[in-house]
Chains A and B, each alone.
Chain A
């Protein structure tokens, strides 16, 4: 595999910011930012569902040389990247020049419109990123989609219980 496929979240955020993609971080990065002890090298974003956002997302994914990820083809499989093709599926599991990236438009019935209002804001090198709230993350993990997700779901539930038990 090319070294270019190594997980590099800083670069990923920079590219998504440069292409002005609107999204909320979910998955492992969001979980870690909320205090989960578990981290996997898979970023997950939930993009806004506007036509303009599909266009800029397609441009960003093209720039990132995105390919479809599969266990049997970890180097990825080429696919047609366009606003139309992206809109044709509810979720894409990709390998990019910045590593694994899951792009999900709806998870457990929630999309950008539901997650963005509750999102927590973080900043990195001048880019502001929206991260799904801890309560929303727990909800998103109610139906784990990969082996790694089950452990993360348990960690998130423990975090939320701790947060609710200890008033700040």
Chain B
């Protein structure tokens, strides 16, 4: 397998912005289990790896390929980007929404082009 379970889990965890402890809590396991898998000290079963990846918000996507062109399991790009700013703006009261405009105005009023 071109991608090891260790690097796959670590990559998924970092992309999810989780510490090993936070991931362990989500997966209902011990932080030491996550550490051992990421450290390559243990090779997890398929089920265990799938469960740990699910706790990061990713899923294992494995496909069969012809010999010599085996596609490695990959963490599917399931983690959504930040997305719309609408929920954040809605969470501000109207005075703060106006404050943002004033802050932006101050910034653009103060910037000067130098090149």
Contact = CB atoms under 8 A, between A and B. Distances in A.
B99 A6 contact: yes
A41 B105 CA distance: 11
B110 A125 contact: yes
A128 B108 CA distance: 14
Size band of the B side of the interface? 20 to 34
A32 B103 CA distance: 14
A73 B105 CA distance: 27
B113 A41 contact: no
Contact of B92 (A6, A29, A102): A6
Given A85-B14, A85-B17, A124-B107, A5 B81 contact: no
26 contacts: A1-B91, A3-B96, A7-B100, A7-B104, A9-B103, A9-B104, A10-B107, A32-B108, A42-B85, A70-B83, A71-B80, A71-B86, A71-B87, A74-B91, A75-B91, A85-B17, A89-B17, A93-B81, A94-B82, A95-B88, A100-B82, A100-B88, A122-B111, A123-B114, A147-B83, A147-B84
A15 interface: no
B36 interface: no
Nearest to A84: B14
A91 B80 CA distance: 11
A8 B11 CA distance: 32
